[in-house]
Amino acid sequence: MKFFVDTADVKEISELNALGLLDGVTTNPSLIMKAGRDIIEVTKEICDIVDGPVSAEVTATEYDAMMKEAAVLSKIADNICIKVPLTFDGLKACKALTSDGRKVNVTLCFAANQALLAAKAGATFISPFIGRIDDMGIDGMELISEIRTIYDNYDFKTEILAASIRTVNHVKQAALIGADVATVPPATLRALVKHPLTDKGLDAFLADWAKTGQKIG
């Protein structure tokens, strides 16, 4: 499973990338707002840090305007992945951009049929929003499972990018179902390593080691 980090915070991206665990980055207009930075400037910085795909979202809602914005975003760096919303205009832009060799992330997916359309439009990634479905009292993981089945039935190459991840359990469930990628907020990504028995075990090993009086090397 690939890990993307879901943020436009350059410091967080830099630190997580240094761990060697990052395969890409996703941003959206809300995350750009939160970072308080110019979209072009901050996205360029992110692309300079991370080798993998960096999703940058168009904000236009009509095809022609989306394509104009996509052209501007594409110029930022070679690893830009254009993010488009799951609308007919977004799907049309997806088809045109992927036919032109661009990577496209189709975002705001809340239903299996939407994911089917995105795959038919040649999407590189489909982003089902797990947490926001959970918020409605419906199990978001069911959607990942349905999309996995549909994509496998027809051998679609579109990668399932589990998005709106809120917990470490979301990551585990998405991995068990076979999502190709999870885009995870920095704090949740850091929490993946945590286990109380790991901390307790390490403390015990270090205490016993100190009693031996030995040093390695």
Binding status of residue 28 toward ligand E4P by CB under 6 A: yes
Catalytic residue among 34, 68, 83, 95: 83
Q: Verify whether residue 83 is a known catalytic residue.
A: yes
How many angstroms separate the CA atoms of 184 and 181, rounded? Answer: 9
Which tokens belong to 112? 């299996």
Candidate segments 15-23, 65-73, 111-119, 126-134, binder of ligand E4P by CB under 6 A: 126-134
7 touches ligand E4P by CB under 6 A: no
Q: How far apart are CA 216 and CA 27, in angstroms?
A: 44
Q: Residue 125, interface with ligand E4P (CB under 6 A)?
A: no
Burial label for 201, CB within 10 Å (0-12, 13-18, 19+), is exposed
Residue 118 tokens read as 């995105």
Q: Report if residue 6 touches ligand E4P, rule: CB under 6 A.
A: yes
DSSP code of 8?
-
Task: For residue 187, report the phi and psi dihedrals to the nearest 5 degrees.
Answer: -65, -40
- Taking CB under 6 A as the rule, which mask of x and - marks residues 30-59 in contact with ligand E4P? ------------------------------
Rule CB under 6 A: is residue 107 a binding residue for ligand E4P? yes
Q: Is 88 helix (H, G, I), strand (E, B) or coil?
A: helix
Asked whether 187 and 195 are in contact (CB, 8 A), the reply is: no
Rule CB under 6 A: is residue 127 a binding residue for ligand E4P? yes
Confirm or reject binding of residue 164 to ligand E4P (CB under 6 A). Answer: yes
Nearest 5°: the CA angle 108, 111, 115 is: 75
Among 95, 120, 132, 190, binds ligand E4P (CB under 6 A): 132
For the chain, count helices (H), then strands (E). 11, 8
Measure the CA–CA gap between 161 and 129, rounded to whole angstroms: 9
Total binding residues toward ligand E4P, as defined by CB under 6 A: 11
Select 121 or 174, whichever has its Cβ closest to ligand E4P: 174
Judged by CB under 6 A, the residue of 39, 98, 129, 158 near ligand E4P is: 129
114 binds ligand E4P (CB under 6 A): no
Instruction: Indicate which residues carry an active-site annotation.
Output: 83
Binding site for ligand E4P (CB under 6 A): 6, 26, 28, 107, 127, 129, 131-132, 163-164, 183
